[in-house]
Amino acid sequence: MSTQSDNQTVSSVKRSSGWVIFVFFLIGLIASLISGWIAFPKLLYSTRQQPIDFSHKVHMGVVSNGCQSCHYFRDDGSFAGTPTNAECESCHMYPMTSDPDENKLVEEYISENKEVPWLSYAEQPPCVFFSHAAHVKGSDMECATCHGDIGHSDSLREYQENRLTGYSRDIWGYNMLRMGEAKHGQRHKMNDCAACHLEETGSKGDCFQCHK
């Protein structure tokens, strides 16, 4: 008699502790999903502003040679990439507006003979080899295919830096839910390179095609 009721209490304790364990498991699961998908990426990236803002839209209306006025290929075929003061001085030797960014450009950089420390959204780790000539000249690709339409933008977007690696978020990607993911054409992760190579050439290529 007494053993039977003991068994009953034991099994009901077991049953309820099963629920407790399940509820705790569920709470733990939800908490780890939140921290993994939402909180961790927020903590992982710090936001930096460009040293001065710059409007591509305004400048495309005033330069004489389109994008190549500032982003050109040198005679040896290498890509000049980020503009230097040499591309700005012809117009911005002296302040021409009351725009604070323009004034900063003239006073803190051009007059001081210092280059603007632009942050490059696409900059790769040093182990990666990337050639603009092979893509833009060799394969006739548009800038926007890889960079998005920054060439017609009014303002430079904020730069997000991975606190652990120091690299741009455009290289290290977005979180698993793809929340906050930029439109296609603003990611330069290994998988993005390989996906396009597979599509265009039928092969992802070997490691040493892209790695030094």
Interaction between residue 192 and ligand HEC (CB under 6 A): yes
Q: Per-residue string for binding with ligand HEC, 39-58, x by CB under 6 A?
A: -------------xxxxx-x
Interaction between residue 115 and ligand HEC (CB under 6 A): no
Q: Per-residue string for binding with ligand HEC, 168-187, x by CB under 6 A?
A: ---x----------------
Measured CA to CA in angstroms, residue 15 lies from 20, 102, 196 at distances of 9, 71, 54
Interacting stretch for ligand HEC, rule CB under 6 A, among 8-16, 26-34, 38-46, 75-83? 75-83
Measured CA to CA in angstroms, residue 141 lies from 10, 76, 133, 145, 156 at distances of 71, 20, 10, 7, 22
Measured CA to CA in angstroms, residue 190 lies from 95, 133, 160, 163 at distances of 42, 19, 18, 19
Q: Which of 123, 162, 175, 182 binds ligand HEC (CB under 6 A)?
A: 123
Q: Using alpha carbons only, give the angle 153, 136, 192 rounded to the nearest 5 degrees.
A: 75
Q: Which of 127, 164, 202, 212 binds ligand HEC (CB under 6 A)?
A: 127
Interaction between residue 125 and ligand HEC (CB under 6 A): yes
